[in-house]
Structure 1
Amino acid sequence: MMEYEGILPVMKPAGFTSHDVVAKIRGILKMKRIGHTGTLDPQVTGVLPLCLGRATRMVEYLQELPKEYEATLVLGIATDTEDLTGTVTERLEEGVQVNREQVLRVLERFHGTISQIPPMYSALKQDGKRLYELAREGITVERKAREVTIHELELTGLKLEQTYPEISLRVLCSKGTYIRTLCVDIGQALGVPASMSVLKRTVSAGISAESCLTFEEITRLAADGTLQDYLIPVDKAVHHLSAVQVSDEKAKAALQGQRLSPSAVHPVPERQQIIRLYDSGGRFLGIYKREADSGAIAPVKVFAQNE
């Protein structure tokens, strides 16, 4: 049985948790070592990169990259989950009236670093228990606000003439951003309750929706033996890390986990910088870091093998 290695870009359908997707792909590929790069709620569709084989060691670096979403929020309705899958807790029976200029002014306030209070229906742990588990028991606890970054926030659609207006957005944001909470906070800034109605993740770990494969496509490609051609190589998946080359005489030492002098690599990285290390032939050796105190190049995750 083939053991795959690399990043598999999956198009997650609605109705599946991220763990469901991992279980599905494990069944298709007949391999256990698979990890996902960030949770998506069951009703959310879109990009879910899966790390196969030794690529699971790269999850932490992939999660650091910004994510892009297409979202729609409804004004005038609030729920306990902050989206329309939840129980309605408030509804403005008379409807809502807003105009385009009001919406654009409010959206301007959400650019850059903002503070969010994570929703109760989330997978965050507090005192050893998931928040959504507490929420299902009817328990609400105080959550600490955390800072996230909204790199881009673009208005893509407006339906203002209906009783409960809809606002559609494209959001490019840092990890840890709750789009449901962003939708609620936008409504609050407009002076009305709001809930997220639709969410699709369009970019994750630098992978776009156009590059993703459906379950059916993955099944077919695995059956005909060509799936490996569609996997993103481990080093290409972390292209945001600087590429550095090690001298031929020190490549073997690097693979043995030895710390190297900065003079053994080119270009010399900054102290504390995480890098991708290659030999003179372009072979990816692994993830290394220049230490803050000694300045040495130290291994973090070695991938290649000594020949």
Structure 2
Amino acid sequence: MSDAPEGLILVDKPAGPTSHDVVARIRRATGQRRAGHTGTLDPPASGLLVIALGRATRLIRFLPESPKVYEGTIELGVTTETDDLAGRVLARDSGPLPAFEEVRDAARTLLGKQRQTPPAISAKKVDGERLYRRARRGEAVEAPAAEIEVFEFDLLEGASEGSLPFRASVSKGTYVRALARDLGALLGCGGALATLRRTAIGPFDVTSAISPPTEENESTLSAAAVVPLDRLPLTLPTHRIDVARVARFAHGGPLPAPETGTGWVRVDGPGGRILGVGELRDGTLTPRIVLVDPPA
């Protein structure tokens, strides 16, 4: 097995590079070929990227995915093709902007579960192809609305000249750009996302994140920055097995389980060491993801 680190790294992405760029830097800095993030950030956005390394990439779907917390600013009076200020301007409203109280009341109507239409230019796939690729060919395609939830949408102090600082806590799959667009539509003046920073994903907070390595300091990444496999906060109940059953689990063999429940579980061995993920059904634990090698 490689000596490259395995687990999670929390990275504070600066505005500019793509999420893929940051993952590539981490891959080079750690020597770990298997790496992937748990949720992308658009290039103009900054903030938290959770990057899985090695065997942790097999556990991404079991990591907490929400709430996702963002801070940023919305520009009222403008509509763009991307729903942010990076896109081509489609319209500007030259009339008086709404009062703060009206904006606040409109923002409150966007709370809760709802169906949200993704931006026309985004990484959302329609018929197996990302919308931005189809947009480059001049195709006008509207993605179907998706079920999302907005837990918090607070306007912060400092609003001026149509620029609205905000803080939003949302579910997985929510486009904050679309939230800005929808707020502007409710107000009748248009709106676009001006700046965005992700500060948290579930239990992960940007205050615990590191700056991404650069070409000049790729070799300085500390192993202490990696959250090891055993400490990953999986959204699964834990099923523990004794040392006598570790070998059978490592070989992928089913094990008798006294639990009457069904579903996926994290499987730990002695000392809390994570062995993998299994499925409980009809009194049997079946290995589904094995993270350990069989004993020699």
TM-score by length of 1: 0.87
Shift of 1:213: 0.7
The change in CA–CA distance for 1:155 and 1:242 in structure 2 (over 3 A counts) is farther
Shift of 1:87: 1.0
Partner of residue 184 from structure 1, selected from 181, 205, 219: 181
Report what 2:126 is aligned to.
Answer: 126
Q: Distance in 1 between matches of 2:85 and 2:260?
A: 48
Report what 2:75 is aligned to.
Answer: 74
Report what 1:250 is aligned to.
Answer: 245
Q: Distance in 1 between matches of 2:143 and 2:218?
A: 45
The change in CA–CA distance for 1:241 and 1:54 in structure 2 (over 3 A counts) is same
Q: For the aligned residues, what is the CA RMSD?
A: 2.4
Partner of residue 261 from structure 2, selected from 270, 280, 305: 270
Contact 1:63 1:175 in 2 (8 A): no
Q: Distance in 1 between matches of 2:33 and 2:198?
A: 25
Between Structure 1 and Structure 2, how many residues are aligned?
A: 294
Structure 1 residue runs without a partner (length 5+): none
Equivalent AA in structure 1 for residue 287 of structure 2 = P
Q: Distance in 2 between matches of 1:210 and 1:6?
A: 18
Q: Distance in 1 between matches of 2:261 and 2:284?
A: 11
Contact 1:49 1:205 in 2 (8 A): no
1:40 is the counterpart of 2:28: no
Equivalent AA in structure 2 for residue 177 of structure 1 = T
Report what 1:59 is aligned to.
Answer: 60
TM-score by length of 2: 0.90
Q: Distance in 2 between matches of 1:199 and 1:113?
A: 22
Q: Distance in 2 between matches of 1:145 and 1:64?
A: 20
Report what 1:116 is aligned to.
Answer: 116
The change in CA–CA distance for 1:131 and 1:217 in structure 2 (over 3 A counts) is closer
Contact 2:48 2:209 in 1 (8 A): yes
1:240 is the counterpart of 2:235: yes
Structure 2 SS opposite 1:32 = coil
Contact 1:251 1:279 in 2 (8 A): yes
1:137 is the counterpart of 2:142: no
Contact 1:290 1:296 in 2 (8 A): yes
Contact 2:66 2:170 in 1 (8 A): no
Report what 1:206 is aligned to.
Answer: 203
Structure 1 segments, 4+ long, off by >3 Å, are 216-223
Q: Distance in 2 between matches of 1:168 and 1:269?
A: 50
The change in CA–CA distance for 1:258 and 1:214 in structure 2 (over 3 A counts) is same
Report what 1:168 is aligned to.
Answer: 165
Shift of 1:46: 0.5
1:279 is the counterpart of 2:269: yes
Q: Distance in 1 between matches of 2:72 and 2:120?
A: 20
Q: Distance in 2 between matches of 1:202 and 1:210?
A: 8
The change in CA–CA distance for 1:218 and 1:37 in structure 2 (over 3 A counts) is farther
1:20 is the counterpart of 2:21: yes
1:299 is the counterpart of 2:287: yes
CA displacement 1:173-193 (0-9 Å, x = unmatched): 221110000111112122220
Q: Comparing 40-49 with 201-210, which one deviates more in the overlay?
A: 201-210
The change in CA–CA distance for 1:15 and 1:123 in structure 2 (over 3 A counts) is same
Equivalent AA in structure 2 for residue 250 of structure 1 = R
The change in CA–CA distance for 1:121 and 1:38 in structure 2 (over 3 A counts) is same
Structure 1 SS opposite 2:27 = helix
Structure 2 SS opposite 1:133 = helix
The change in CA–CA distance for 1:269 and 1:10 in structure 2 (over 3 A counts) is farther
Structure 2 SS opposite 1:195 = strand
